[in-house]
């Protein structure tokens, strides 16, 4: 079985990290296949929303495969070269921006690179028993797939520093209080909740959803003045679509809109 599974359910893609025997930890294959999955979501116009989850009931993703990492470091020591981790230069945590919504369905521990994959998603739902954290400093390293940049941008500074500098994981309920996850549910309700949220998003105009995400993601890296100009640019592109005509038309006719993503 591949280390990452990909399934389409109508306009929803479900990406599943599939190494339950290793707590869905990230090795070279996981990096490569998850990057391919992100690109497939980006390039398939029939996919409007994606859900990312893990196999089994214990782990969403326990982070980097430490056995593989240890081997890389040992080889580097022997050769006298700096260690080079088997991570693509562009991947979901860094450099690969997809403006379709991603929902993380966190079915267990999400640590290190696992939390970073969840942070690369837009919305996060956690099972009640999940624990989230960045333990890298305990291993003498730091996060390298976005946690040091995304966490301080998404939750209050002191709480971000708690996660990054102490290295202790927090419960799903504490992650909710921090603002790190949107919702906490029993494990049995996790995928139904994620699919319900995806379906709710898909009731909206898909081109408008992508435009709103792009405006938000790129806008926060700009000054407010430049961000407002970029919002106008995104709006001008969205309003050219057939869906932008269908939305107001359906409202005036008191019916549900039928969006076609064009």
32 is catalytic: no
Catalytic residue among 136, 195, 214, 231: 136
136 is catalytic: yes
Q: Give the pair of three-digit tokens for residue 158.
A: 């002191």
Task: Kindly calculate the radius of gyration of the chain based on its CA atoms and give it in whole angstroms.
Answer: 19
Measured in residues, the chain has a length of 262
Instruction: Find the helix packing angle between 224-238 and 206-219, rounded to 10°.
Output: 160
Q: Give the pair of three-digit tokens for residue 228.
A: 């407002």
**pLDDT tens per residue, the chain (262 residues)?**
999 999 999 999 999 999 999 999 999 999 999 999 999 999 999 999 999 999 999 999 999 887 766 655 556 556 667 666 667 778 998 889 999 999 999 999 999 999 999 999 999 999 999 999 999 999 899 999 999 999 999 999 999 999 999 999 999 999 999 999 999 999 999 999 999 999 999 999 999 999 999 999 999 999 999 999 999 999 999 999 999 999 999 999 999 999 999 9
Catalytic residue among 7, 21, 32, 116: 116
Domains and CATH numbers, the chain: 4-202 (3.90.226.10), 206-252 (1.10.12)
List, as own/partner pairs, every contact residues 31-34 make where C-beta atoms lie below 8 angstroms and the sequence separation is at least 24, other chains included. 31/86, 31/87, 31/88, 31/91, 32/88, 33/2, 33/3, 33/4, 34/4, 34/91, 34/92, 34/117
């Amino acid at each position: 079985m591949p280390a990452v599974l990909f399934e389409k359910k109508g306009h929803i893609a479900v990406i599943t990290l599939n190494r339950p025997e290793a707590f869905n930890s990230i090795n070279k294959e996981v990096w490569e296949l998850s990057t391919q999955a992100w690109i497939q979501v980006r390039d398939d116009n029939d996919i409007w929303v994606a859900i990312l989850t893990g196999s089994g009931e214990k782990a969403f993703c326990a982070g980097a495969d430490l056995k593989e990492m240890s081997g890389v470091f040992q080889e580097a020591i022997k050769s006298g070269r700096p260690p080079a981790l088997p991570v693509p230069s562009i991947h979901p945590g860094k450099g690969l921006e997809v403006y379709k919504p991603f929902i993380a369905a966190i079915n267990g521990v999400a640590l290190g690179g696992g939390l970073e994959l969840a942070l690369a998603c837009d919305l996060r739902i956690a099972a009640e028993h999940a624990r989230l954290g960045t333990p890298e400093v305990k291993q003498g390293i730091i996060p390298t797939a976005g946690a040091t940049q995304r966490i301080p941008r998404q939750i209050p500074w002191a709480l971000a520093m708690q996660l990054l500098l102490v290295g202790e994981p927090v419960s799903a309920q504490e992650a909710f209080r921090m603002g790190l996850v949107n919702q906490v549910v029993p494990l049995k309700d996790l995928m139904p909740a994620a699919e319900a949220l995806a379906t709710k998003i898909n009731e909206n105009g898909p081109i408008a959803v992508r435009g709103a995400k792009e405006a938000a993601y790129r806008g926060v890296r700009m000054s407010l003045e430049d961000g407002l100009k970029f919002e106008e640019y995104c709006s001008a592109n969205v309003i050219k679509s057939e869906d932008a005509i269908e939305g107001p038309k359906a409202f005036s006719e008191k019916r549900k809109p039928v969006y076609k993503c064009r």
